[in-house]
């Protein structure tokens, strides 16, 4: 297993995020999209900071529960070695976004956003997922999984 996939697997395993299925009724989907708006804004702020290579800003947007589970040193290393490099070549978001409800390992609820990152230079867009939860009344990043395609979610 490469160090990239090991770090991504470690970050994913530490978070134990469980996406929940959204109701298939269009009205329920619209309602969920409205409820997810503040969470999406938090995801967008994280993505912008990651694309700028801003380690302190990305670290500051992460869930405290995540930091406690992983430890700050490991969390900063994963950000610096895996997450920021993934976004460094990003040229914006591409394609559609799929939204699902989620709950993190601490029981905090929120939304998962399955997205695509356009690449500078015209390379194919790369899939990633951002999990955002409500932690003490604040939308925070509970997990970010780069370069992992979830076929039923990344469309």
Q: For each of the domains in the chain, give its residue range(s) and CATH number, in order of start.
A: 3-146 (3.10.450)
CA pair distance 18, 130, nearest whole angstrom: 12
The pLDDT value recorded for residue 56 is 97
C-alpha of 54 from chain center? 16
- Residue 24: which pLDDT band, with cuts at 50, 70 and 90? low
- The answer, yes or no, to whether residue 120 has pLDDT greater than 50, is yes
The pLDDT value recorded for residue 122 is 86
Mean pLDDT estimate for the chain: 86
- Residue 29: which pLDDT band, with cuts at 50, 70 and 90? confident
- The answer, yes or no, to whether residue 3 has pLDDT greater than 50, is no
The predicted model gives 51-57 an average pLDDT of 97
- What sign for the dihedral angle of Cα 131, 129, 36, 31? negative
The pLDDT value recorded for residue 26 is 67
């Amino acid at each position: 297993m490469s160090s990239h996939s090991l770090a991504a697997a470690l970050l994913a395993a530490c978070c134990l995020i469980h996406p929940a299925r959204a109701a298939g009724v269009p009205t329920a989907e619209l309602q969920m999209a409205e409820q997810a708006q503040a969470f999406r804004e938090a995801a967008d702020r994280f993505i912008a900071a990651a694309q700028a290579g801003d380690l302190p800003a990305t670290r500051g947007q992460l869930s405290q529960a995540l930091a406690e589970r992983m430890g700050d040193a490991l969390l900063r290393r994963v950000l610096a070695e895996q997450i920021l490099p993934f976004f460094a070549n990003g040229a914006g978001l591409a394609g559609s976004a799929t939204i699902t409800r989620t709950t993190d390992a601490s029981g905090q609820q929120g939304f998962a956003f399955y997205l695509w990152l356009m690449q500078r230079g015209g390379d194919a867009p790369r899939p990633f997922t951002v999990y955002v939860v409500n932690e003490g009344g604040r939308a925070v990043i509970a997990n970010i999984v780069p370069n992992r395609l979830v076929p039923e979610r990344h469309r």
